[in-house]
Amino acid sequence: MSWITVVWSMNAGACFVLAGVCFVVWCKERESWPHLLFSCSGVAAAVIALIELAMLHGTTVGQYAALIRWIHVPVWVLTLSFVAFVRLYLHAGRRWLAWSIYGLRTLVLILNFISTPNINFRAITSIRQFSWWGEIVSVPVGVPNPWGLLSNVSLLLLLIFSVDATITVWRRGDRQRALVVGGSMILGAIVAWHVPLVIWGVIDVPFFLSFAYSGIVLAMGYELSKDMLQTAQLAHKLERSEQRLNLAADSANFGVWEWDLNKDEVSVTPSRRDLLGLPAAGEIKFEHFLSRVHADDRDRIRQAIKDAIEKRKVYDSEFRVVLPDGGVRWMTARGTVQANKRGKPMRMLGISLDVTGRQQAELQARQQRVELEQLRQQKTALLEKEVVERARLEREVIESCGREQRRIAYDLHDGVGQQLVGIALSAKLLEEHLRAERSAEADRASLIAELANGAARQVRLTARTLEGADGVGDLKTALRSLAANMSENCGVKVTVKADSSSLPISPPVAAQLYRVAQEAMRNAIEHGAAREVLIQLTFGDQDLMLTVQDDGKGFDANINGQGMGLRIMRYRAQCIGGSCEVHAGPSQGTIVHCRVPLEAQPAVFGLP
């Protein structure tokens, strides 16, 4: 067997092997288009080598013409594969140059099958055989076809495209690929120029176009093998990283999952497989995983995942899973959708976390809150009951005080008052008797009668004051009457100011306000030694205000803040839905503010 047959056959076999390896890779990873293009280039280079081998041993003109005609088919495949490989793998080369090569090379292929015998020769007159490196080889002799210049132009464009792509990759910084792939393409395009030189009879060598293209195939295969090696190394690193991730996930009690949307395969960390009762190995379909979700949560989870895929939303949901032993665990999952360059969803990646402990804690917290709310309601009811009871006791105290005051008033009026009147009459009679006798003691008897009458008047005033103000009628009139009595009998200047636009005041409110004013004036005179008192009754948009201000010694909250009189005034204000405050005046004296809402309904308190 000649060495030419061995070398060309080895060249074809190597190209077939490389093409087969890359084709298998592409079958497993359909998105790796550079591997498919390389596989096409390898097959085309192998076919070119076999056709060249047949041409080197050709003996007839017809056989040689047919071989030249058909060699353009693998050359067309090889050229287009080279250009597409550079565009996709190296991301280099000008687009217009690529399309020009595609179009011109396709035109050459069409003209090749239209022309007779082919685009390279108008006619092949003979086959010349000569010795080359100890072997007899055949070359055609004939008339070149002018249309063959198009094939040469396409070869020139391929050379320009290769130089441009090499410069782009070199400037990008990837100089090794620029030298290996780009350099091999430039060298192959230059070596391929021996074909037109042989056809024109310029040089006397056989066709060896396959070796020019095989060099490019080997360079492309070298780069792809480096990528495959790096992929294997990355896979090994990824496996170790996955082991570390699984260890970290088990330690943190969370799982990592991935769902391949095209293959409908779900990958879950081993700990989650054990938890869900899934097989330790093998494929898991989405419906198989969904069957572990609680029946009440499946539709919600399916809809959430559908929204995440269609609307590119973040998937975030909590759900229950049913364990093989019948137990229920709470899980929370969060994931995102990854899409390819065309925007088609390819996979979902996410993590899941066992939150059963948190759910149990939240359930326990809700139960505790319910218990606390019940306890609060019970305590509130007890406090309200206590407040009602205290209010009842205070009301009874006030009622008792009122009854006692009326009893004392009646006793003073009917008892002490009548006795003083009797004393005054007796003293008057004694005065008249002594004056009839012209006694010097008559003046003393007259003084006794005056003192007794004054004491009787004071007793009657005190009795009227103690009797209360249950029937005060108009509050402004009652306050003015109270002020006049206090001014006349106590020597204190009392002034009453009331709004002329005041609204009618209900009898219960008037009675309580009258008693508050009465108590405030009594305190101002007896405890504050006041000489002047101002009573103001004003109306606002939502409430009315009773103010009693004096110029006495003032009010000490530390001493008098818990006095009986102050508590009674505050309670009377509360009974009609109002409030009572006592504080010192701006310079001296005391100010009592009693504020009552206009919408108060005092009748419900049932006060006397």
> Is residue 592 a contact partner of residue 547, using CB atoms and an 8 Å limit?
yes
Distance of CA 354 to the CA centre of its chain: 21
> Where is 451: in which H helix or E strand?
helix 442-467
Asked if residue 415 has pLDDT above 70, the reply is yes
Q: Which of 177-181, 420-424, 491-495 has the highest mean pLDDT?
A: 491-495
The pLDDT tens digits for 493-552 are: 888 888 765 567 777 788 888 888 888 888 888 887 888 888 988 887 788 888 998 888
pLDDT at residue number 246: 58
Q: DSSP readout, 345-408?
A: EEEEEEEEEE-HHHHHHHHHHHHHHHHHHHHHHHHHHHHHHHHHHHHHHHHHHHHHHHHHHHHH
Rg (CA), the chain: 59
Percent of the chain residues past pLDDT 90, beyond the cut: 2
Sign of CA dihedral 13, 17, 23, 24: positive
Quote the CA–CA distance of 516 and 503 in Å, as a whole number: 19
Confidence check: pLDDT of 99 > 90: yes
- The predicted structure's pLDDT at residue 248: 56
d(CA 213, CA 80): 13
Q: Which amino acid is at 310?
A: E
At 103, is the pLDDT very low, low, confident or very high (cuts 50, 70, 90)?
very high
| pLDDT for 469 beyond 60 | no
| CATH class entry, domain 472-608 | alpha beta
Query: Cα 386–390–393 angle (5° rounding)?
Result: 140
Reported CATH class of domain 3-231: mainly alpha
Write down the domain spans for the chain. Answer: 3-231, 253-354, 472-608
DSSP per position, 494-517: EEEEE-TTPPP--HHHHHHHHHHH
Token pair for 281: 């190995």
80: left (phi over 0), alpha (psi -120 to 50) or beta: alpha
Give the span between the Cα atoms of 498 and 533, in whole angstroms.
14
Please state, in angstroms and rounded to a whole number, the distance separating the CA atoms of residues 20 and 42.
8
Q: Which of 408, 436, 603 is nearest to 512 (CA)?
A: 603
Give 473 or 60, the one with higher predicted confidence: 60
At 590 the three-state DSSP class reads strand
DSSP letters for 60-94: SHHHHHHHHHHHHHHHHHHHHHHHHHIIIII--S-
Confidence (pLDDT) at 76:
92
Instruction: Write out the H or E segment, with its range, that includes residue 34.
Output: helix 33-56
Residue 456 has pLDDT above 50, yes or no: yes
Long-range contacts of 523-528 (CB under 8 A, 24+ apart): 523/565, 523/590, 524/548, 524/550, 524/552, 524/589, 524/590, 525/486, 525/490, 525/492, 527/552, 527/553, 527/560, 528/552, 528/553, 528/554, 528/555, 528/589, 528/590
Report long-range pairs for 204-209 (Cβ below 8 Å, ≥24 apart): 204/130, 204/139, 205/132, 205/139, 206/55, 206/56, 206/132, 206/137, 206/138, 206/139, 207/52, 207/55, 207/56, 207/139, 208/52, 209/48, 209/52, 209/75
Alpha-carbon 503 to chain mean position: 56
CA distances from 525 to 491, 555, 557, 581 (A): 10, 13, 18, 19
pLDDT exceeds 50 at position 605: no
Range with the largest mean pLDDT of 218-227, 274-283, 325-334: 325-334
For residues 38 and 96, the model is more confident at 96
Q: What mean pLDDT is predicted for residues 205-209?
A: 76
* Proportion of the chain above pLDDT 70, given as a percent: 83
**pLDDT grade for 253, boundaries at 50, 70 and 90:** low
- Across the range 109-121, mean pLDDT stands at 87
Average pLDDT over residues 95-108: 91
β-pairing, 328-339 vs 345-354, is antiparallel
46 in Cβ contact with 15 (< 8 Å): yes
Bridge partner list, 534 = 495, 549
Strands (E), 113-171: 121-132, 135-144
Question: For the segment 140-168, what is each residue's pLDDT rounded down to a tens digit?
Answer: 888 888 888 888 888 888 888 888 888 88
- Average pLDDT of span 45-73: 86
Q: Is 552 in contact with 585 (CB distance < 8 Å)?
A: no
Q: Higher-confidence residue: 588 or 438?
A: 588
Lowest mean pLDDT among 65-69, 146-150, 177-181: 177-181
Task: Give me the amino acid identity at 299.
Answer: D
**CA-closest candidate to residue 37, choices 51, 53, 25, 49:** 25
594 SS3 class: strand
Of 3.20.20.70, 1.20.950.20, 3.40.50.720, 3.30.450.20, the CATH number of 253-354 is 3.30.450.20
> Can you name the residues that pair with 256 across neighbouring β-strands?
351
Q: Bigger pLDDT: 344 or 564? A: 344
- What average pLDDT score do residues 83-102 get? 87
Is the pLDDT at 608 greater than 70? The verdict is no
> What is the residue whose two structure tokens read 């939150």?
355
Taking the C-alpha atoms of residue 43 and residue 48, their distance in angstroms, rounded to an integer, is 9
Q: Tell me the CA end-to-end span of the chain in Å, nearest whole number.
A: 138
Residue 270 burial (10 A CB sphere; 0-12, 13-18, 19+): middle
